Amino acid sequence: MPVKWTADLSVKNETLDAEHQKWIEILNNFYQGLMDKKPKEKLLELVTAMLDYTKYHFASEEKYMKSINYPNLSEHQEKHRFYEAKITEYHQRIKDDKMVLSLEVTNFLKTWLINHIKGVDQQYADFNEKH
């Protein structure tokens, strides 16, 4: 099931909200590719796009958190590294023909992303509002 952007996903930062929306778009494209039974090469392109955008977004978000002196930056970075490692693992396994793309993979990516934005990312948004 595709992810829809809703107001409760906003971190009250226009740039980061736009990045989260782009990330959701990439995830939805991946999901649609699975539903349309796209060839492995096309799905690999989508996973590559997700991995590349994840790295870009995490760097952007971490730079922002540093700029506001967010006190839980290192814990947040650990969560980012976990997700990045998981996508990297999926990417490699797909390239090596050792993984079948499935809704299980999509659901993990989607669930992590939404829970991360609504939970962990909201913490820096709340911190910034109070300071």
Predicted pLDDT of residue 101: 66
Lowest mean pLDDT among 27-31, 55-59, 70-74, 101-105: 101-105
Q: What single string gives the DSSP state of each residue in 13-55?
A: -HHHHHHHHHHHHHHHHHHHHHHTT--HHHHHHHHHHHHHHHH
pTM of the predicted model, to two decimals?
0.88
The single-letter code of the amino acid at 49 is A
Predicted pLDDT of residue 69: 96
The single-letter code of the amino acid at 35 is M
Q: How far is CA 126 from CA 5, 8, 19, 58, in A?
A: 19, 13, 18, 18
Q: Among 108, 120, 119, 125, which residue's Cα sits nearest to residue 16?
A: 125
Predicted pLDDT of residue 46: 85
Predicted pLDDT of residue 102: 67
Q: Count Cβ atoms below 10 Å from residue 18 Cβ, excluding itself.
A: 10
pLDDT digits (tens, 9 = 90+) for 101-120: 667 778 888 898 899 999 99
User: Are residues 50 and 27 in contact, defined by beta-carbon separation less than 8 angstroms?
Assistant: yes
* Domain boundaries defined on the chain: 9-130
Residue 100 has pLDDT above 80, yes or no: no
Query: In angstroms, rounded to a whole number, what is the distance separating the alpha carbons of residues 63 and 26?
Result: 22
Residue 33 has pLDDT above 90, yes or no: no
- Does the domain made of 9-130 have the CATH classification 1.20.120.50? yes
- Sign of torsion over alpha carbons 95, 98, 100, 102: negative
